[in-house]
Amino acid sequence: MSSSLLREVRKARGMTQKEVAIAIGVPQSTYCLIEHGKRPADLKTVQKICDLFQVEPDHLFVPKRFAVRKVK
């Protein structure tokens, strides 16, 4: 997830973190951690955020890349 992108979208909508948190039904501290990339959001929360901002999940949330070991 791009935390700066999430913050930019929130600010572009003229919302505070507290307003977003109330709208999606989580504590402000939880939303703050999500926005700063320090806590992953569950699928339900991702959908609520995307519905609120009227964007597709892949515009705000990008799955983390992971290394795959080659099998010999």
pLDDT in tens, 25-46: 999 999 999 999 888 888 899 9
pLDDT at 60: 74
> Coil, strand, or helix at residue 60?
helix
For 72, which DSSP code?
Answer: -
Q: H/E/C letters for each residue in 5-51?
A: HHHHHHHHCCCCHHHHHHHHCCCHHHHHHHHCCCCCCCHHHHHHHHH
Q: What is the mean pLDDT of residues 8-24?
A: 96
